[in-house]
Structure 1
Amino acid sequence: MDNPRSDRVRSVAALSKRSVRTRTGRFAVEGPQGVREAVRHAAPLVRDVYLTPEAMARYADDIVGPARAADRWVHEVTPEVLAAMAGTDTPQGVLAVVDAPAPTLDDVLAAGPRLLVLLTHVRDPGNAGTVIRGADAAGADAVLVSEASVDVHAPKVVRSTAGSLFHLPVVTGLDVAATLARLREAGVRTYAADGSGTTLLPGADLAVPHCWVMGNEAWGLEDDVRAACDDVVRVPIHGLAESLNLAMAATICMYASAGRREDGRCGE
């Protein structure tokens, strides 16, 4: 494929727009790491893989071969075509179009989760992507995302997840109040992570199934959300830093939960 103005190229490039992603139910994954993980862990959702000639040779074993083995369409394109499709200034020669997965809260709860994280009004793509990546690393069962948060299939979010988007369920479009109520009904405790908390992280009961509830980067959690949670937990700050970045705080909380699980105390 060598025409950067073709209809196919334009349709792929248009996936940078949320309205197009919503209408088509598809999104683009750029770069070898994300595409590799999509092919490995979500091959049925991968519609097309596009690679430059150099990338075809470089990733023959870990992307091209597995994609073809899964009966996915693999296309060799010129660097100009790849650049027209991609949303980055320096594309890495690999791009895939993927059907957006649609896990539900019912699916997550039916699996008996031990550790969840709920993002409420999180607007920064980098923060959202980093929390998904941190949840994956900490062994969380799913990430829950409110309807007012950033689109997790936006290009910047997808890149920030570094492929973790394909490793665990990410449920989107949730009403926060209804979700907190459902979690309570399912026996999952909800912990608002907030600097106003009187419970310090080391003192939180992480031996039970629980969900960390994270707020907006600028204003944190709304009063009614904090009140609806079972406890408000504060990450202690021992130095002079005024506060922690949202993604950093979420990762610290989730790793505290993972540490409790590794100690063998989770689920007693």
Structure 2
Amino acid sequence: MLTNPRAERVRSVRALSKRSVRERTGRFAVEGPQGVREAVRYAAARVRDVYVTAEALERYALDIVEPARAANLWVHEVSAEVLAAMAETDAPQGVLAVVDVVDSDEGADAVGPADALAAVLDAHPRLLVLLTNVRDPGNAGTVIRGADAAGADAVLVSSASVDIHSSKVVRSTAGSLFHLPVVTGLDVEATLETLRAHGIRTLAADGAGATLLPDADLTAPHCWVMGNEAWGLPDEVRDACDEVVRVPIHGRAESLNLAMAATVCLYASAGQRPRREGVTTAG
């Protein structure tokens, strides 16, 4: 058991709270049982280490510890003090994992934004969402979670947006970060051009849209383009999209926040695509 909160390993894990360290090492931390469980289930090849307290070792034996060991992952028992020193949150719930940003078996040339986007497009996606200049970690994570729930094929993130591997974003995704491709570091204008060249319509979600969401044709492959929380989409980005769509406000609310608007739009898209096998409902 690792019991020294000042050990070099502990400091190296805590250092992943800094973006510069994440970018240099190509790793990030996942805190809490839900995120770690989904990482082990869906991205085991990227999981470097799993850290659990004695209590968590027993509590999550079946859904985290045993699957991790079955996948030949390193599972380390640590004291509660060590886990607290590793984690960025006050209540990491006894479980933390260190995960590679990309599969360590992939070549360096295969993980650039253009190549990652090409891989998504090669799979002939029908529903995408592009985040442009989204800065709030909670919003970004919730959009990824909503995209996952709505059956989107990928989430695209501009280079000017928040780092999706920051702890707040990772927690907000509730494990969805490991369920669908998330392509980061994209140039917005170039991405819009690439999507159009692949026959994917781009729909700007904007309060000034002439088309109401219920009237939008969402049957063809398309990508929702979402803007910054404070100022929305720049004119040049909105004008570069194929259509500008607004979510109708029926009550007295001034607007919806980014994550809410994105989820509403994504579910509208999901409602116009053929129902797939394996669809589940909440509750």
TM-score bracket for the superposition, by shorter chain length: over 0.9
Query: What is aligned with 2:107?
Result: none
Query: What is aligned with 1:164?
Result: 176
Residue 57 (str. 1) matches residue 69 (str. 2)? no
Q: How far apart in 1 are the matches of 2:223 and 2:274? A: 17
Query: What is aligned with 2:218?
Result: 206
**Residues 100-249 of structure 1 aligned to structure 2 (within 5 Å):** 100-101=101-102, 102=111, 104-249=116-261
Q: How far apart in 2 are the matches of 1:262 and 1:255? A: 13
Q: How far apart in 2 are the matches of 1:57 and 1:177? A: 50
Query: What is aligned with 2:83?
Result: 82
Query: What is aligned with 1:97?
Result: 98
Q: How far apart in 2 are the matches of 1:138 and 1:66? A: 27
- Structure 1 residue runs of 5 or longer lacking an equivalent are none
The one-letter code of the counterpart of 1:134 is G
Query: What is aligned with 2:20?
Result: 19
- Shift, 1:263, TM fit: 6.2
Q: Helix, strand or coil for the counterpart of 1:104? A: helix
Q: How far apart in 1 are the matches of 2:254 and 2:34? A: 35
After TM superposition, where is structure 1 displaced by more than 4 Å over at least 4 residues in a row?
Answer: none
Q: 1:225-251 CA deviation, whole Å, 9 max, x = no partner?
A: 000000000000111111101000000
Among the aligned pairs, what percent are the same residue? 78
Q: 1:112-159 CA deviation, whole Å, 9 max, x = no partner?
A: 000000000000000000000000000000000000000000000000
Q: Helix, strand or coil for the counterpart of 2:273? A: helix
- Structure 2 residue runs of 5 or longer lacking an equivalent are 103-110, 277-283
TM-score normalised by L of structure 2: 0.92
Query: What is aligned with 1:256?
Result: 268
Q: Helix, strand or coil for the counterpart of 2:69? A: helix
TM-score normalised by L of structure 1: 0.97
**Residues 30-45 of structure 1 aligned to structure 2 (within 5 Å):** 30-45=31-46
Q: Helix, strand or coil for the counterpart of 2:120? A: helix
Q: How far apart in 2 are the matches of 1:63 and 1:149? A: 31
Q: Helix, strand or coil for the counterpart of 1:92? A: coil
Q: How far apart in 1 are the matches of 2:241 and 2:62? A: 47
Q: 1:59-85 CA deviation, whole Å, 9 max, x = no partner?
A: 011100000000000000000000000
